[in-house]
């Protein structure tokens, strides 16, 4: 089959700008599609980190002010390995310290509508027949609300077929009606079947309404978002568009997340060389100031600390861990109350519970390798990458049966042990008590070293590469082109 040209539009991309899993996906999926022979370019804002990383990026287009609320900008091209990046340079909007979405005090940048309106507008502009690059993609692939207005521009102004992928429906990008004209959308777009949503301009709703095809990042989440409880108000629209909605499970970058070759670890290991994982546990205990012991299971957490991730359940029961006995290491940041709760907990149990508030890529790798069990009791989880990293690192996860967690983690029981699929532990319910019972179950199971090793190996041997997902995206793109036609 013929190869496709694809514009992948994103608001973050690892390793340069990453606040969560979208950054990982924006690096790995385009690379997998490139490897499969497709002509893919990644569009993202020229944040300071990217300008520093690519000082020789060249200007490939000067862009006009597209609308009263949008400044002039330009496109820089940079080569990241085999991938071509298009950096949207507009210092007024993107040359800022810190997080792409939040100011230093943790509040949304007040001009986010313009910042991501411009990103969406440029994505759509490149998808038009007279694209200023002289290169026109067959597909504009938008990701989450920050680029979800691109399908709306393409719908009203003409151009390529479009796809929007929902990585997290809880974030929708809703702004006042005044932004309609400011962002250059036509007056007639203000309709229930246009960009309007409860008298606001909703970027994500616009994309879900007007994209040629829609995807979410796991099959279970694709079903869940059609349900009121998970859909954050958009369930009726997604039910209406269910024929164009599918779930494609994320992969993981198996080069970056490979316990055999990971440069962040003291020693590599593999499914048939698991003994070396112990040295990583001792090294992690030393690094974090935990008592160095092989006799207690060590639970690990790496997460945004938000109610989505269900870590309040852990906070409620964690004081029982040292008694069990078990240890806990937490790496995360987010909700200030939750951060304070974990810090307080660590103070009470020095040597047994340790917490690091912040974002630390290397430490994240060492926790995956050094912990015995990973805790991720999310209330909802569109896909989740950390449980997959854990499975690859022989660190069976504890999860709730939701979204991508349900699609990747198989609870340990007689049947699943027999068919070699058992690879983790699934909570029965969503209460602190349910988590506690599972933690006790894990501790008992961990004592049986042979059984534990079987569970580790089942997880480590599963294929989480991007190859399969990349093929599914190509099918989605072809359907989008057919839908558009």
- Interface with ligand ADP (CB under 6 A), residue from 10, 146, 327, 386: 386
Sequence-distant (≥ 6) Cβ neighbours of residue 337 within 8 angstroms: none
Q: Which two tokens stand for residue 398?
A: 């504890």
Contact 396, 417 (CB under 8 A): no
CB of 108 to ligand GLC, least distance (A): 17
Q: What is the DSSP secondary structure assignment for residue 248, as one 8-state letter?
A: -
304 binds, among ligand GLC, ligand ADP, none (CB under 5 to 8 A by kind): ligand ADP
385 lies in the site for ligand ADP, by CB under 6 A: yes
11 lies in the site for ligand GLC, by CB under 6 A: no
146 lies in the site for ligand ADP, by CB under 6 A: no
- Interface with ligand GLC (CB under 6 A), residue from 51, 114, 167, 392: 167
21 lies in the site for ligand GLC, by CB under 6 A: yes
- Interface with ligand ADP (CB under 6 A), residue from 200, 282, 359, 478: 359
384 lies in the site for ligand ADP, by CB under 6 A: yes
The burial of 81, by beta-carbon neighbours within 10 Å (0-12 exposed, 13-18 middle, 19 or more buried), is given as exposed
22 lies in the site for ligand GLC, by CB under 6 A: yes
Contact 400, 314 (CB under 8 A): no
User: Any idea which residue has 């680029």 for tokens?
Assistant: 147
Q: What are phi and psi of 407, to 5 degrees?
A: -85, -10
Closest CA to 154 of 190, 187, 129, 188: 129
- Interface with ligand ADP (CB under 6 A), residue from 332, 370, 394, 396: 332
Looking at beta carbons, which residue is closest to ligand GLC? Answer: 21
Helices (H), 36-133: 48-53, 91-94, 112-126
Q: How many residues bind ligand GLC (CB under 6 A)?
A: 14
End-to-end CA distance of the chain: 18
Distance from C-alpha of 467 to C-alpha of 485, rounded to nearest angstrom: 28
360 lies in the site for ligand ADP, by CB under 6 A: yes
25 lies in the site for ligand GLC, by CB under 6 A: yes
Nearest CB to ligand GLC, comparing residues 21 and 137: 21
CB of 291 to ligand ADP, least distance (A): 23
Contact 119, 88 (CB under 8 A): yes
CB of 250 to ligand ADP, least distance (A): 7
- Interface with ligand GLC (CB under 6 A), residue from 12, 138, 196, 381: 381
20 lies in the site for ligand GLC, by CB under 6 A: yes
C-alpha gyration radius of the chain: 23
Nearest CB to ligand ADP, comparing residues 310 and 332: 332
397 lies in the site for ligand GLC, by CB under 6 A: no
Nearest CB to ligand GLC, comparing residues 159 and 382: 382
21 lies in the site for ligand ADP, by CB under 6 A: yes
Q: What DSSP string describes 9-32?
A: E-S-BTTTB-SSHHHHHHHHHHHH
Distance from C-alpha of 85 to C-alpha of 78, rounded to nearest angstrom: 5
Residues 222-251 that bind ligand GLC (CB under 6 A): 250
Closest CA to 150 of 114, 123, 113: 123
Binding stretches for ligand ADP (CB under 6 A): 20-21, 24, 302-304, 331-333, 359-361, 364, 383-386
């Amino acid at each position: 089959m013929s190869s496709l040209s694809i514009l992948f539009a994103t608001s973050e991309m690892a390793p340069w700008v990453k606040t969560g899993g979208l950054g990982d996906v924006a690096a790995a999926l385009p690379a997998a599609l490139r490897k499969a022979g497709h002509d893919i370019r990644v569009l993202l804002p020229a944040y300071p980190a990217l300008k520093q990383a690519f000082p020789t990026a060249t200007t490939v287009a000067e862009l006009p002010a597209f609308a009263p609320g949008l400044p002039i900008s330009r496109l820089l091209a940079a080569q990241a390995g085999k991938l071509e990046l298009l950096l949207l340079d507009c210092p007024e909007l993107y040359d800022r310290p810190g997080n792409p979405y939040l100011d230093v005090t943790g509040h949304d940048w007040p001009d986010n509508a313009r910042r991501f309106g411009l990103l969406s507008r440029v994505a759509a502009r490149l998808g038009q027949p007279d694209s200023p690059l002289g290169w026109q993609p067959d597909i504009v692939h938008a990701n989450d609300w920050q680029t979800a207005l691109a399908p709306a521009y393409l719908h009203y102004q003409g151009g390529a077929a479009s796809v929007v992928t929902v990585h997290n429906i809880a974030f929708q990008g809703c702004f006042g009606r005044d932004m309609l004209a400011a962002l250059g959308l036509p007056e007639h777009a203000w309709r229930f079947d246009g960009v309007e949503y409860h008298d606001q301009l909703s970027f994500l709703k616009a994309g879900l309404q007007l994209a040629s095809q829609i995807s979410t990042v796991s099959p279970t989440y694709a079903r869940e978002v059609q349900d009121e409880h998970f859909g954050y108000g958009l369930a009726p629209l997604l039910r209406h568009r269910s024929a164009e909605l599918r779930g494609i499970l994320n992969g993981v970058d198996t080069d970056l997340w490979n316990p055999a070759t990971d440069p962040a670890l003291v020693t590599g290991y593999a499914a048939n060389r698991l003994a070396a994982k112990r040295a990583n546990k001792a090294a992690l205990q030393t690094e974090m100031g935990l008592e160095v012991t092989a006799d207690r299971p060590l639970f690990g957490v790496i997460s945004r600390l938000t109610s989505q991730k269900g870590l309040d359940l852990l906070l409620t029961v964690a004081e029982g861990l040292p008694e069990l006995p078990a240890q806990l290491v937490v790496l995360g940041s987010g909700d200030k109350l939750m951060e304070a709760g974990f810090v307080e907990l660590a103070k009470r149990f020095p040597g047994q519970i340790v917490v690091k508030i912040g974002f630390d890529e290397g430490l994240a790798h060492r926790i995956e390798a050094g912990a015995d069990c990973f805790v991720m009791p999310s209330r909802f989880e569109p896909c989740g990458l950390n449980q997959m990293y854990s499975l690859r690192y022989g660190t069976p996860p504890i999860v709730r049966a939701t979204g991508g967690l349900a699609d990747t983690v198989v609870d340990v029981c007689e049947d699943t042990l027999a068919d070699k699929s058992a690879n983790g532990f699934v909570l029965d319910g969503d209460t602190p008590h349910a988590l506690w019972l599972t933690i006790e179950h894990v501790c008992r199971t961990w004592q049986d070293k042979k059984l534990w090793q079987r569970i580790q190996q089942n997880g480590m041997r599963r294929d989480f590469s991007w190859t399969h997902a990349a093929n599914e995206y190509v099918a989605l793109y072809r359907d989008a082109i057919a839908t558009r036609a």
